[in-house]
Amino acid sequence: MNRSQLPAGFRVPTHHHDHDEMFVVLEGGCDFGQAKADDTVVLPAHNRYGFTCGADGIAFLTIRFGEATTEL
């Protein structure tokens, strides 16, 4: 599990992982499915995604179900 905090407008480039992942928004939001505080998004392995942080930035937990790998 990893906790991250990103500033307003920060862009996470499109990428994917070799493991399933759960993305839990703690504060703020992003344009990834219009995720906002208290939302949870489940991402299957090899699902390509990226997002841009909203006006308040974002704080989130990433829970990984497998060894952490990333491919851009």
Of residues 28 and 32, more confidence is placed in 28
Domains of the chain: 2-71 (2.60.120.10)
Task: For residues 22-37, give the mean pLDDT.
Answer: 93
Least confident window among 15-19, 42-46, 50-54, 64-68:
64-68
Which pLDDT value is given to residue 71? 65
Predicted TM-score of the model (pTM): 0.84
Which pLDDT value is given to residue 68? 67
Asked whether 36 and 58 are in contact (CB, 8 A), the reply is: no
> What's the mean pLDDT when you consider all of the chain?
91
Structure tokens of 36?
């906002």
Which pLDDT value is given to residue 33? 82
Structure tokens of 59?
């704080």
